[in-house]
Structure 1
């Protein structure tokens, strides 16, 4: 087994660890399991999304292109946690479909979160090498949807927070820095000051 496959397997195990810990904690007994699962899966979805965006600056800073293949694993992990987040929410409101409509009309944070998930969906579907070859240059343009998805995810987190804004603000700050780095890099390549 190659070193890259070993690192990939370790990354997948690390990605699954928060889900495993959350399940163990729910089985041990938490006050509101559905709320806990929703919060944990959402937190980790955003954390893995930011980790995905961190790969490119790390590659540039460390001159380590060998890190690039791990970006796909991180992105798919973020999508898996975001899908779990959405699934737990839907499972809670499925018995009363009108609640979903009420949430979409009266809760902008639900709209922001759902929009973020919708933007991530085509990225997950087209993440394979097959789609990279098939879509060509369009693939890179399509995968820029991660930027508005991250912004919407941060907005979702900020809007649903009731009192302590430190954590969502930290996520938003990290996202802003990662996006600013990309803008700086694009302008530098284009020769724009």
Structure 2
């Protein structure tokens, strides 16, 4: 097996791994450039903290999406980038925490005190420690050494993602649009996992359609629940905003659109394959 992250297991250059590695650095380039040219606002470190945290949860959810997407698309090479994406999530989470330490002038006692006293920081720190554990044990050698315990440990990925989303909600205050979007995507992934475990084929467009609709409704309810429990903003007004497109498109509709794409793929691809076979019939030798 190659030691280079851009090669596949046979040691050959992998286009999909190169693409994943490039994608991993793009947000960092934008954040760094924004800081250098002073476009991150009046508190650039704080903005950089938020952006690195946002990308940590995004990359983590994308890494969790690899397995169901592999089942849906039957493209097994997707598995080559799951580790890269997971480690990218860890790298952004570590940078997120490092920038927070820098914002506290490197005072580790103060950082520890803040984590202990503020529940949303404690939740985020717990998620970070979990990501570190997953990252450290992500190598092939650790998989072999840990055996079944590796599966038990990495089954914590979804609870850790839920902690990350909760941390996102709690630090977002009133504007939880992005946090709700991440919660919606996590719901989609959980429904994929549930459907697969119950024997529902992820290659069925009807299964994927049902997941898309259920995830969209659950996203709207999650947003409603947050405003009902954690803010003084009337939650019914937020719920009804999902029916209006005058000002913005609410997260439930983005979740619905994203979750419908795999259903469309599964529904259209067989017909496209049949048409391709008609246009290019295989001539028997």
Aligned length: 189
Q: 1:188 aligns with which of 181, 199, 204?
A: 199
1:150 and 2:161 matched:
yes
1:139 alignment counterpart? 150
Residue 9 in 1 paired to residue 18 in 2? yes
Q: Secondary structure at the match of 2:175?
A: coil
**Higher share in helix:** 1
The CA RMSD over aligned residues, in Å, is 1.8
Q: Is 2:164 the counterpart of 1:165? A: no
**Where do 5+ consecutive residues of structure 1 fail to align?**
none
Report how far residue 4 of structure 1 moved. 5.6
Q: How many angstroms apart in 2 are the aligned matches of 1:157 and 1:55? A: 22
Taking the TM superposition and a 5 Å limit, the aligned residue runs for 1:14-163 are 14-29=23-38, 30=40, 31-163=42-174
8 Å contact kept, 1:54–1:178: yes
The aligned residue for residue 246 of structure 2 is none
1:129-177 deviation line (CA, Å, top 9, x unaligned): 1111111222122111211110000000000112211211111111122
Rg bigger for which structure? 2
Deviations 1:52-87 (A, max 9, x none): 111111101111121112110100000000000011
| Distance of 2:81 and 2:51 partners within structure 1 | 23
Q: Within 2, Cα distance between the matches of 1:173 and 1:32?
A: 29
Structure 1 residue 94: Cα displacement: 4.7
Instruction: Give the whole-Å Cα distance in 2 for the aligned partners of 1:51 and 1:180.
Output: 15
